[in-house]
Structure 1
Amino acid sequence: MADINQVVIVGRLTRDAELRYTNTGTAVGRMSIAVNRRRRSDSGSNEETSFFDVVLWGKTAESLNQYLQKGKQIAIQGELRQNRWEQDGQSRSRIEIHAMNVQLLGGGGRGDATGNSRPAENRSTYQPSYQNSSNNGPEPFEDDIPF
């Protein structure tokens, strides 16, 4: 059996996305997402928040950067990657989500009165061009679906 490394997460951005470029000119978008979880206990319900670093590459990072604002709710599908380095003689590591698919959801961000930075009928899913869409299910729908 092959190893699987897939994660799907829905949460809110903790800060505006940061867009930078590598030495070769590839766009890299970095952001952090907060995910809330409610837990019930004998003393009531407690809310727990987890924070995750997300990396987005290429034209997808460039296209989405203007919409990825603090408070915006997004859904991310991607894979976990661990970065390792040494600092001051200490081994360090960080796990990041490398996004392959980002969907902008309603609410949050700096937009209109409803909190949407884009109208609902224009929200869509973005997939990087390097992702092979022919091997995983049906092709994505066009935006002009009549229902």
Structure 2
Amino acid sequence: MANDTNIVVLVGRLTRESELRFTNSGTAIGRFSLAVNRMKRSGDQREEEVSFFDITVWGKQAEVLNPYLTKGRQVCVQGELRQSRWEQEGQSRSRIEVVANNIQLLGGSSGGNASGSTDYRGPQDQVNRNSGGFQQKGNGNMPSAPTGFPGPEQFDDDIPF
């Protein structure tokens, strides 16, 4: 059976302030919306197209980043897509959101009062939801290496080209 991959990386600006809530067990949940712009050609003209994404961040990272996730702030979000399905008034509904594993604050808010970029990854409390438990991933500076891939020492020295 093939391994499936679900990874998304988005760079955009927050369209609203982050909303911080807590589950009954006390786990923090942060939610915000991200606008991502792209230029597209329409004949001889270039037009800007905007896509909007709902982002959810869990745990300590949601608590720590919440004050910095302000409207207009540029961020880089790394995570995975999740689809929720339900029925409403007899019709099937679905919604796709990005569950963030890592958020980096970039530049400043839309007011432009910050220069340079801030690379804040927060505590790496990333959840391995498949195992039902919490696992520490990465070292806070670099993303963890994918598992299941051989290192360079496991390849033959005979290169066919």
Query: What TM-score, normalized by structure 2, do the two folds share?
Result: 0.74
Corresponding position: 1:124 with 2:120: yes
User: In structure 2, how many angstroms separate the alpha carbons of the residues matched to 1:24 and 1:120?
Assistant: 38
Q: CA, structure 1 residues 73+80, in 2 after alignment: closer, same or farther (shift >3 Å)?
A: same
Secondary structure in 2 aligned to 1:126? coil
Q: How many residues align?
A: 132
93, 106, 115: which one aligns with 2:113: 115
Secondary structure in 2 aligned to 1:10? strand
Which residue number corresponds to residue 47 of structure 2? 46
Q: CA RMSD in A?
A: 2.0
Question: What are the superposed Cα offsets for residues 110-146 of structure 1, whole Å, 9 maximum, x if unpaired?
Answer: 6xxx433xx7576422353234227824xxxxxxxxx
Q: CA, structure 1 residues 127+95, in 2 after alignment: closer, same or farther (shift >3 Å)?
A: farther
Which residue number corresponds to residue 26 of structure 2? 25
Higher relative contact order (CA 8 A, sep 6+): 1
- Indicate the structure (1 or 2) with the bigger Cα radius of gyration: 2
Runs of 5+ consecutive residues of structure 1 not aligned to the other structure:
138-147
- Contact 1:38–1:47 (8 Å) recurs in 2: yes
Runs of 5+ consecutive residues of structure 2 not aligned to the other structure:
127-135, 146-161
Which piece of structure 1 moves more, 126-135 or 10-19?
Answer: 126-135
The sequence identity of aligned pairs, in percent, is 54
Query: What TM-score, normalized by structure 1, do the two folds share?
Result: 0.81
